[in-house]
């Protein structure tokens, strides 16, 4: 039975839930204590699943791993942005060549503009 995400559930809890489900599919986890805690604390099945996953993730160290990856995400995003900028600049240089001149800002905007616009729409609309 798939868990439908509620707007009130943070993404990190859903990521941990999915990670625990995958671990449980590989090798069954010892979740007797986690199930007891979940049944004692929550009434709704979805909330029980989230609490069970949270307890098991803490036992397995998945919450610390997620925090470490979130800290690295800023650097990965910066590196990706730098890479896109350099590749775009190289693309513009390859298309234009050395003997012609164009407005570099307009060329980069033409290359990156649609992607930036779709990214902004996706962030604002969701």
Q: What is the mean pLDDT of each run of 10 residues along the chain (126 residues)?
A: 62 91 88 83 86 90 92 92 90 76 79 84 72
In the prediction, which pLDDT does 4 show? 56
The closest alpha carbon to 50, from 60, 65, 64, 35, belongs to 35
In the prediction, which pLDDT does 83 show? 94
Q: Which burial class, exposed, middle or buried, applies to 57 when counting CB atoms under 10 A from its CB (0-12, 13-18, 19+)?
A: buried
């Amino acid at each position: 039975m798939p868990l439908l995400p509620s707007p009130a559930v943070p993404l990190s809890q859903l990521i941990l839930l999915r990670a625990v489900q995958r671990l449980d599919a590989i090798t069954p986890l010892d979740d007797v204590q986690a199930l007891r805690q979940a049944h004692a604390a929550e009434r709704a099945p979805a909330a029980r699943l989230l609490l069970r996953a949270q307890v098991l993730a803490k036992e397995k160290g998945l919450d610390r791993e997620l925090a470490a990856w979130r800290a690295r995400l800023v650097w990965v995003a910066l590196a990706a942005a730098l890479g896109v900028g350099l590749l775009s600049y190289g693309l513009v240089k390859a298309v234009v060549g050395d003997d012609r001149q164009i407005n570099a800002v307009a060329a980069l905007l033409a290359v990156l503009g649609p992607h930036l616009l779709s990214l902004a729409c996706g962030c604002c609309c969701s």
